[in-house]
């Protein structure tokens, strides 16, 4: 069989894939394989991987213990559309780890989990409206695609659809608030008595919650009879073993989880206390209160054993201390390289997930978190990739697989990226 070059694969993709890609990442790179902290493209170029599948590969690629668990399961069966022991054991492990979860329902993707969380909140409260935060990402359902990345600014709480195909009726049920603004949320709840839930990323993309913000949302929800949904697809088992709610000590009513709990395989879920989750049980709530949920791969045993083994490894002493120490070292490296060069920047996020904004201003919500000169960010990221660092344009995910060699390569790449930014006239210079 002929071995194709990356450019040949890209050309084939243009014929059969819209925009030549899967819709997730730069279609100009075709990944051939991953091992530990590294990935290789189809031309054999090697990279330190800070994308890690957009988060799930917290242990790195091909962890031997996870691979062993998966290979043991494969001969026993790959999917059943029926209960299996591994899925039940995974649900038990999640309930033990995540403070807000008494019961769990599995789905195949984080977007599904968020969609069902919103629907579950409506079923439990009998109310129609949802409050979400501008710039918050909650998957691909119609409600989630409201004001995810609006290119035009409108007055709050008006939602802006980010996708074609969303009906006007959806906008009537979604209220948009600025992240980190408790007073804005309080005002909305005082004006609208038909809000079912507030859905929030405890770390919105990479923007941390300001002190008191999550606590303020919890208090408002309790006061107004509204459910609080934490979208922990990204933060679950990353910020801490019990997720953002363990780290920040604020418990939501409903939690959505994904990425890490599948160990790199398609698996996600949502959990809450039993009185809320009962709406998935038709025999208990009747036809009118029942939330139908089916999924061919929900609770898939291969994904479940991968998730179980991943969670077992994460429970071992020192894992999160090591992850945070590595992440903080990376943050400090970024700060040193950019500060020494006099390049205005903000490092935004948490040691377990962060990135840079090229700006001198604080980044606390969607409207303040952007680059003053986007060409600087483009030069920075392009230079990193040329130097062997693979990352998202807007996030950097540390992993437990990173080595000292990876850190040294990353630092050299940052110096090359700094030089690329310095070689570019700023937008201010162009104006002058």
Burial 259-296 (b: 16+ CB within 10 A, else e): bbbbbbbbbbbbbbeeebbbbbeeeeeeeeebbebebe
> Out of 114, 231, 253, 355, which one is annotated catalytic?
231
For 308-345, the three-class secondary structure string (H helix, E strand, C coil) is HHHHHHHCCCCHHHHHHHHHHHHHHHHHHHHHHCCCCC
327-336 own/partner pairs: CB under 8 Å, 24+ apart: 327/351, 327/352, 327/353, 327/354, 327/398, 329/407, 330/354, 330/396, 330/398, 330/407, 330/410, 333/407, 333/410, 333/411, 333/414, 334/414
227-232 β-sheet, strand order:
103-107, 268-272, 254-257, 227-232, 195-200, 129-133, 174-177
- The answer to whether the Cα torsion of 387, 389, 391, 394 is positive or negative is negative
Helix axes 301-314, 85-97, angle to 10 degrees: 40
- Cβ atoms within 10 Å, residue 362: 11
Query: In the 8-state DSSP scheme, what is residue 36?
Result: B
Residues 414/334, Cβ–Cβ less than 8 Å: yes
User: Can you tell me the distance from the alpha carbon of 413 to that of 326, in angstroms, rounded to the nearest whole number?
Assistant: 17
> Out of 36, 127, 132, 259, which one is annotated catalytic?
259
Residues 247/239, Cβ–Cβ less than 8 Å: yes
Provide the residue count of the chain: 432
Is residue 320 annotated as part of the catalytic site, yes or no? no
Is residue 137 annotated as part of the catalytic site, yes or no? yes
Is residue 194 annotated as part of the catalytic site, yes or no? no
**Across the strands, what pairs with 36?**
61
> Out of 47, 50, 116, 137, which one is annotated catalytic?
137
Q: How many CA atoms lie within 13 A of 413 on its CB side?
A: 24
By annotation, the residues acting in catalysis are 137, 231, 259
């Amino acid at each position: 069989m002929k071995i194709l070059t990356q450019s040949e694969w890209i050309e084939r993709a243009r014929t059969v894939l819209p925009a030549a890609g899967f819709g997730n990442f730069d279609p100009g790179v075709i990944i051939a394989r991953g091992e530990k902290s590294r990935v290789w493209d189809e031309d054999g170029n090697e990279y330190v991987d800070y994308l890690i599948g957009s988060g799930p590969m917290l242990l790195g690629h091909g962890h031997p213990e996870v691979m062993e668990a998966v290979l043991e399961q494969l001969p026993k069966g790959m999917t059943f559309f029926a209960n299996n022991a591994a899925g039940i054991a995974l649900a038990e492990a999640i309930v033990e780890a995540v403070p807000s979860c008494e019961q769990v329902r599995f789905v195949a993707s984080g977007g599904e989990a968020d969609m069902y969380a919103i629907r579950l909140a409506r079923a439990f409260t009998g109310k129609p409206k949802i409050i979400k935060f501008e710039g918050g990402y909650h998957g691909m359902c119609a409600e989630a695609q409201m004001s995810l990345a609006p290119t035009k600014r409108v007055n709050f709480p008006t939602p802006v659809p980010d996708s074609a195909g969303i009906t006007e009726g959806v906008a009537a049920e979604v209220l948009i608030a600025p992240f980190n603004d408790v007073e804005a949320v309080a005002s909305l709840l005082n004006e609208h008595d038909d809000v079912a839930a507030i859905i929030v990323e405890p770390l919105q993309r990479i923007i941390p919650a300001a002190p008191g913000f999550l606590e303020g949302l919890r208090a408002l929800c309790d006061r107004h009879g509204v459910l609080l949904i934490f979208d922990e697809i990204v933060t679950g088992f990353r910020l801490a073993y019990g997720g953002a709610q363990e780290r920040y000590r604020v418990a939501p009513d409903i939690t959505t989880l994904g990425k890490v709990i599948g160990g790199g395989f398609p698996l996600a879920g949502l959990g809450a206390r039993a009185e809320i989750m009962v709406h998935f049980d038709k025999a208990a709530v009747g036809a009118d209160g029942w939330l139908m949920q089916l999924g061919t791969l929900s609770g898939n045993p291969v994904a479940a054993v991968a998730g179980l083994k991943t969670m077992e490894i994460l429970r071992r002493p020192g894992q999160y201390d090591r992850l945070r120490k590595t992440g903080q070292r990376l943050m400090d490296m970024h700060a040193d390289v950019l500060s020494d060069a006099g390049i205005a920047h903000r490092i935004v996020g948490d040691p377990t997930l962060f990135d840079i904004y090229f700006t001198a201003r604080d980044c606390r919500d969607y409207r303040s978190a952007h680059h003053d000169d986007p060409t600087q960010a483009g030069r920075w990221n392009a230079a990193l990739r040329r130097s062997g660092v693979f990352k998202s344009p807007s996030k950097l995910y540390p992993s437990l697989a990173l080595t000292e060699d990876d850190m040294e390569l990353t630092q050299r790449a940052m110096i090359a990226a700094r030089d690329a930014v310095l070689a570019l006239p700023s937008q201010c210079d162009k104006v002058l």
